[in-house]
Structure 1
Amino acid sequence: MRLLNLISIVAVAGVMAGCSTTSGSVKQPSGPEAIASEKALVMPPPGGPSIVSVVETKRGNGVEQTLSLFTSSSVPGQNFMKVQFLGASGSNPDTGSAGYRMFSETGMSREAFASVPGVAMARNTTFLQNSYGPFSYASGRSRGGDTCIYGWQQIRSSRAAHTQTRNFGMIQVKLRLCDARASERQLLAVMYGYTITGTLNGEIWNPYGDVRGADPTLGQTGTPIYPDEGGYRQMSMPLGYEPAPQAVNRATVRRAVVTRPQPAVAPQPVVQQAPPVGPRVPLPDAPQQSSQMVAPGSPAQPAAPAQQSARAGGVAVPSPDCIGDAAMTAACRR
C-alpha cells in the first residue's frame, strides 16, 4: 500500500514538472532589424555617399549588414554597401550559420549584372589594391549616361598565416554605385576610401593575419631614404652645393625706394619772342620804370598821358603817328 502511494506521488510530480517546462514565455525569432547609422560596421569615405539606412542580420557564425546609400541615378535599384563578418560563433545560433564561401569570378559577374539591371557591365582586369588588400570591380554605362560600378573585396589572412589558434576569420565587402554625374574614377574612390569599423573577437578569428613588421632595410647601410617619393633624381633640391641668396633687409629696400632720385626731366625749348616794334613806352602807373616794354598783344595805352609823363621826366617821346615814315618823323621833329 505504501509502495502504491509512493508511485502515485512520483507520477503526479512528473506531470507537474512536465507542465511547468512546456509552458514558457513568448519568444520572437531574431531576424533582420534596422539599426542606427552609427552602428554600421563599415563606413563610406568622407564626402559620401551618405548612409540612408542600415539593416543588420545576426547569424550563428557572424553578422551581415546592408547599408543603403544615397542614390542619384535613373538606373533601377538602390545603391548599397554590404559587409559580412564570418567566423565568430555564438552570435545568434537560432538563425543558422552563413556559408563560409570564397568569392568566385562567375558568381561575382552574375551578381554585378543582377544588381545593375539594363547596364552592360564589364569586369576590370587591372590588379588593384587598397588598404585592406586586393579588390576587383565591374563597370558600365547606362543608355541615359549614368555610370555604374560593382566592386567586391574579400579580406582574409593568407594560408601561411593560418595556425591552430588564430587567423581564421573573413570579411567580405560588396559595393553597388550608380550616379548620373560622377565618373568611373570618382565612384571607384569609394572602394579606396571606405573604413571597416567592426572587428571579430579573439585572435582565432583575426581576418587580417599577422601584423607586418617594420621594413628590414631601416637602419641598414646602402638604403638611403629621401623626403620625396621620386628619389634622388626627382628631388627638388639642386645637385651639389649652392650658396643661398643673400638676405635682403626690407627696411633698407623701403628706404632706398623712398630716397631714390627722381629721373631728370628734359628741359623744354625756350621760344624766342620777337622783339617789340617801336620805342619803349613806360606804363602809366609806373613812370619811373622807363625800361619796361609794351608787348604787341597788350592793350594800347592813351597817347596823351604817355607824352605828359615823358615830358615830366625830360624825355621827348614822339607821337605814334610819327613812327614808321622818315618824312613824317622829320616833320614831327620840327
Structure 2
Amino acid sequence: MRLLGLISVVAAVLLAGCVSTSGSVRQPSAPETVASEKALILPPPGGPAIVSVVETRRGNGVEQMLWLSTSSSVPGQNFLKVQFYGASGSNPGAGGDSYKMINERGVSREAWVAAPGVAMARNYTFLQNNYGPFAYAAGRSRAGDTCLYGWQQIRSNQAAHSQARNFGMIQVRLRLCDGRASERQLLSVMYAYTLIGTLNGEIWNPYGEVKGADEVLGRAGSPVYPDDGGPRQGAIEIGYEPAPTAVRRRQRQVKAPVTATTPTPVGVRVPLPDEAFETPGASTQPMPAPDPVQQAAKAGGITVPSPDCIGDVAMTAACRR
C-alpha cells in the first residue's frame, strides 16, 4: 500500500509538470507616451506648446516629462518636468524613487546639462508664485539665445508633518531656451504654470493647510475698492511675444479752406482820385476837372453821358461840366 501511494504521488507530480499553465504578464516600469490631455502639469496659456508627454510610474510616485516646442540653436529641447512623491496613483510593482531634497550643487549640474555651452548665472532674488518659493538660473548663448532653468519644490512645513499628514512632495523643473524671448518673458512660465495632478489622501497632501480668507473681509473700517484694471506692480506678462504697445494716434488737424477775400486796409486810408482832401500844414491846390468817362465811373454806379456829348461835341465846355 505504501508503494502504491508513493507511485501515485510521483505520477501526479509528473502530470503536473506536463500540464501548461497560463502565467500573468506584468509590464515593466518603463517610460511611456501619454496623451497631452493626461498631463499633470500645464504651461501657461499662450506659452510654449506641448509636443509630447512621457510618463514614468514608480512605487512611490509619478514623473512626467512634457517636451515643449523649441526655437533655439542651443542643443537640447525645452521641457517642463514634474515629479509627484507619495504612495498613491503609482505602480506598486515598480521600485520607488529616492526622496531627494533640492541642493545647490545638484541644481547647478542640472542647469549645465539642460543648456550645454551656456553660462548660467543663479538669481538670488526671492521669488514666489502661487505654489510657493522658487528659483532659477539664466544665461545667454554665443548666438544670442536666452536660456532659463527654473526649479521648485512644493512641500508643507515641518510643523504640519507632526500631525501625521501632509507628507507628499512635488518637484518641478523648467528648461526654456529661445532665440527671440527675453529672460523676463521666459520667467513668466514659472509664474503661470498650472498643476493638474493631485496625491490622494490627506496624509500625502503637499500643500499643507489651506489658507483662509483675508482678514479684512467683512471687517468694519476696512474698505475694499474695485480693481482699476491695470497691471499690478511687478506683474509679468505671460507669453513669449511682448504685448503690443498702445499707439496713440494723433488727431489729424483739418485746415480750413483758404478763400480769396479782399484784404482789409491797414493804416491810413488812401483817398480816391476824385476825392478832395487836405493835408494838415500843406497848401490846398485846386484839383483838375475829371474826365467825363472817369466822372461817370463812381461808386454809386455808372452814369450814361448825354447823346449831345458824344464825339467831337464832348470837347465843348458844356459837356465838360
In the alignment, structure 1 residue 322 sits paired with structure 2 residue 313: yes
- The CA RMSD over aligned residues, in Å, is 3.5
Q: What's the secondary structure of 1:323's corresponding residue?
A: helix
Distance, in Å, in 1 between the alignment partners of 2:18 and 2:111 is 54
Report how far residue 10 of structure 1 moved.
Answer: 3.6
Q: Relative to 1, partners in 2 of residues 1:91 and 1:319: Cα closer, same or farther, differing over 3 Å?
A: closer
| Aligned equivalent of 2:304, options 271, 294, 302 | 294
Q: What's the secondary structure of 2:128's corresponding residue?
A: strand
Q: What's the secondary structure of 2:203's corresponding residue?
A: helix
Structure 1 stretch 170-179 or stretch 94-103: which is displaced more? 94-103
**What are the within-5 Å matches in structure 2 for residues 278-289 of structure 1?**
none
Distance, in Å, in 2 between the alignment partners of 1:130 and 1:93 is 33
Structure 1 stretch 21-30 or stretch 191-200: which is displaced more? 21-30
In the alignment, structure 1 residue 277 sits paired with structure 2 residue 317: no
Q: Relative to 1, partners in 2 of residues 1:19 and 1:222: Cα closer, same or farther, differing over 3 Å?
A: farther
Q: Relative to 1, partners in 2 of residues 1:158 and 1:16: Cα closer, same or farther, differing over 3 Å?
A: farther
Q: Relative to 1, partners in 2 of residues 1:277 and 1:113: Cα closer, same or farther, differing over 3 Å?
A: same
Amino acid at match of 1:85: F
Amino acid at match of 2:315: G
Give the corresponding residue for 1:210.
209
Give the corresponding residue for 2:106.
107
**What are the within-5 Å matches in structure 2 for residues 86-125 of structure 1?**
86-89=85-88, 91-125=90-124
Distance, in Å, in 2 between the alignment partners of 1:328 and 1:66 is 120
Amino acid at match of 2:194: T
Q: Relative to 1, partners in 2 of residues 1:156 and 1:18: Cα closer, same or farther, differing over 3 Å?
A: farther
Tell me which structure has the larger Cα radius of gyration: 1
Whether the 8 Å contact between 1:276 and 1:294 is mirrored in structure 2 is no
Report how far residue 18 of structure 1 moved.
Answer: 6.2
**What are the within-5 Å matches in structure 2 for residues 1-334 of structure 1?**
1=1, 3-14=2-13, 16-17=15-16, 24=23, 26-89=25-88, 91-163=90-162, 165-227=164-226, 277=292, 293-294=303-304, 317=308, 320-326=311-317
Q: Relative to 1, partners in 2 of residues 1:15 and 1:132: Cα closer, same or farther, differing over 3 Å?
A: farther
Length-normalised TM-score, structure 2 = 0.71
Distance, in Å, in 1 between the alignment partners of 2:117 and 2:177 is 12
Whether the 8 Å contact between 1:31 and 1:95 is mirrored in structure 2 is no
Distance, in Å, in 1 between the alignment partners of 2:318 and 2:185 is 111
Distance, in Å, in 1 between the alignment partners of 2:205 and 2:319 is 137
Q: What's the secondary structure of 2:315's corresponding residue?
A: coil
Q: Deviations over 1:136-195 (max 9, x none)?
A: 100111111111010001111111112554211111100000001100000000000111
Amino acid at match of 1:324: M
Q: Deviations over 1:224-265 (max 9, x none)?
A: 433359xxxxxxxxxxxxxxxxxxxxxxxxxxxxxxxxxxx9
Distance, in Å, in 2 between the alignment partners of 1:47 and 1:90 is 30
Length-normalised TM-score, structure 1 = 0.68
Whether the 8 Å contact between 2:309 and 2:319 is mirrored in structure 1 is no
Give the corresponding residue for 1:286.
none
Amino acid at match of 1:294: V
Q: What's the secondary structure of 2:74's corresponding residue?
A: coil
Report how far residue 27 of structure 1 moved.
Answer: 4.3
How many residues are aligned here?
262
Whether the 8 Å contact between 1:276 and 1:293 is mirrored in structure 2 is no
Q: Relative to 1, partners in 2 of residues 1:132 and 1:266: Cα closer, same or farther, differing over 3 Å?
A: same
Distance, in Å, in 1 between the alignment partners of 2:138 and 2:318 is 120
Distance, in Å, in 2 between the alignment partners of 1:19 and 1:151 is 60
Distance, in Å, in 1 between the alignment partners of 2:23 and 2:318 is 160
| Unpaired runs of at least 5, structure 2 | 229-260, 266-270, 275-289, 297-301
Give the corresponding residue for 1:240.
none
Amino acid at match of 1:55: V
Q: Deviations over 1:194-225 (max 9, x none)?
A: 11111111112111111112233433345443
Amino acid at match of 1:190: V
Distance, in Å, in 2 between the alignment partners of 1:182 and 1:328 is 100
Whether the 8 Å contact between 1:168 and 1:206 is mirrored in structure 2 is yes
